[in-house]
Structure 1
Amino acid sequence: MQTSFFIAAAALYAICAFLPSRQHLAISIGTALGWTLHGLALWGDVVAPDSLRLGFAVMLSAALWISVGFYWLDNRNRALDSLRVLVLPVAACAVLLPIAFPGSAITLEGKTVLFPWHVAVAMLAYSTLTIAAFHAVLMALQESHLHALRGMINERKGGWFSIAIARLPALLTMEKILFRMIGLGFTLLTLTVVSGLVFSEQLFGKALTWDHKTIFTLLSWLLFGVLLAGRHWRGWRGKTALTFTLTGFVTLLLAYVGSRFVLEVVLHRGLA
């Protein structure tokens, strides 16, 4: 059942990505339906009796599920239709990843009721900051496009991607959206870090270990914290904000998704 839902969601995302913008109602309904099927498939794939199934593919798929939901709502409020044609094709690919890489099950036996909540908040943190990183890349491309005189004069010759970039909102608007995402992601990541540090014994059944996952997560948390502090006290923006955002995201990616990819795909091992 989950496989059928994943495939159906991918098909709807792909169709809605390339429908003409005048088909706004069809796009809105199709995207909402695809997002619903995607969420149901993820729930059925991750949640099992007395266990959770996790892995790098599920994390990336969940991140794009959050992304689609965010941009669907944002598109309704701000008419950011150009973001649709950029986000949905990526989501159409990411939604299929759990089929190829199902991950491994984590038993809930012996775990406290805090454990599923810790996992849920962590996934939301990773997903929100993934959106922020994707948004930062769009801003970098947009800024590059603004400096390309040929693209500014005759954007229609650059293909659909160039047209979508050219039609993005003003950089200041994009920047405000970016920092809202980072603020929410940092709050969720703080809850993840605090719960992991304080309740390690109850959550994982063992004392805190300073492995690569813990170190990279704390380093990412520090980078995003410095960025928000610099934004508040020094007015950081532009390339500085983009550099901190992408560096923090890559660090967070290495903390979980990268290590899971190596274990599951390269070394063919289950979750630790």
Structure 2
Amino acid sequence: MLTYLFVLAALLYATCGFLPSRQRVAISAGTAAAWLLHGGALWVDMIGHGSLRIGFAIMLSATLWISVAAYWLENRNLTLDGLRVLVLPSAALAVVLPVLFPGSVVPLEGKSALFPWHVAIAILAYSSLTIAAFHAVLMALQESRLHASPGTVQQGWLGMAIDRLPALLTMEKLLFRIVGFGFVLLTLTVLSGVFFSEELFGIAFQWNHKTIFTMLSWVLFGALLAGRFWRGWRGKTALRFTLTGFATLLLAYVGSRFVMEVVLHRGLA
């Protein structure tokens, strides 16, 4: 049953991702329906009786679920068709990954009642910064299109979607707003992670790949926000920091889980 829900959500995401932009009502309604199906299936799959299922595929799927929600809300105020053609096809792929890579089950017995909140905050942080990365990609494409000579400008569906984006300065303000929100959540994730590391392992930090990449990502996003405030960083500098910070954060959990589960065939939480 869960498999059918995941597949149906993927089909709806893909359909909405490639519908003509003039069909705004159908896109909005279809995206909302797919999001509800996706969320319901994820909830049933992740939360079992006294246990929590965790894996790189589930985390990536949950991240795209929240990313779709952020896109849907933003699109009510701004025309973000360029974001739609990136987010929804990506969500269509991510939603079926838990079927192929189910991950591992973590018993919740003996753990703090706040542990699920730590997981939820981490997912929110990853999702916010995922949206920031999508924005950075769109801004890079938008800037490249603005500086291209008329004869080299592509007129395909992606080019037309980029043309419908808000002004570059508006996109930049939105990027820093999302990065700031994600950085706050990432900070809370790091702090709550210290608490649970002490509770579960007796030490404040486990210096593994997950911790190192998470802290490096936190430093990169913090440096970006500080540079924006003190030095007025923008443009290509902001895009480079955003994409590098996101790639590092992706390696912190999703990448390490992928190596453990798919490459090494191990199911550690």
Q: What range describes the TM-score normalised by the shorter chain of this pair?
A: over 0.9
Mapped contact 1:111–1:205 kept (Cα < 8 A): no
1:82-121 counterparts in 2 under 5 A? 82-121=82-121
Structure 1: runs of 5+ lacking an equivalent: none
Displacement of 1:126 in angstroms is 1.1
Task: Identify the match of residue 181 of structure 1 among 170, 174, 178.
Answer: 178
Displacement of 1:121 in angstroms is 0.7
**Could you say which residue in structure 2 is the equivalent of 1:221?**
218
**Could you say which residue in structure 1 is the equivalent of 2:229?**
232
SS at match of 2:102: coil
Whole-angstrom CA distance in 2 between matches of 1:174 and 1:55: 33
1:206-217 counterparts in 2 under 5 A? 206-207=202-203, 208-217=205-214
Q: Give the TM-score of the pair, scaled to structure 2.
A: 0.94
Whole-angstrom CA distance in 2 between matches of 1:151 and 1:123: 43
Displacement of 1:155 in angstroms is 4.4
Mapped contact 1:61–1:98 kept (Cα < 8 A): yes
Task: Identify the match of residue 167 of structure 2 among 142, 167, 170.
Answer: 170
Whole-angstrom CA distance in 2 between matches of 1:2 and 1:206: 37
**Could you say which residue in structure 2 is the equivalent of 1:201?**
198
Whole-angstrom CA distance in 1 between matches of 2:185 and 2:121: 6
- Does 1:246 find its partner at 2:243? yes
Mapped contact 2:46–2:54 kept (Cα < 8 A): yes
- Does 1:263 find its partner at 2:260? yes
Structure 2: runs of 5+ lacking an equivalent: none
- 1:160 maps to amino acid: W
SS at match of 2:176: helix
**Could you say which residue in structure 2 is the equivalent of 1:124?**
124
4+ runs deviating over 4 angstroms: none
Mapped contact 2:83–2:135 kept (Cα < 8 A): no
Mapped contact 2:79–2:166 kept (Cα < 8 A): no
Displacement of 1:75 in angstroms is 1.0
Residues 85 and 215 of structure 1: CA distance in aligned 2, closer, same or farther (over 3 Å): closer
Displacement of 1:185 in angstroms is 0.6
**Could you say which residue in structure 1 is the equivalent of 2:26?**
26
Displacement of 1:110 in angstroms is 1.4
Task: Identify the match of residue 188 of structure 2 among 191, 195, 202.
Answer: 191
Percent identity, aligned pairs only, is 71
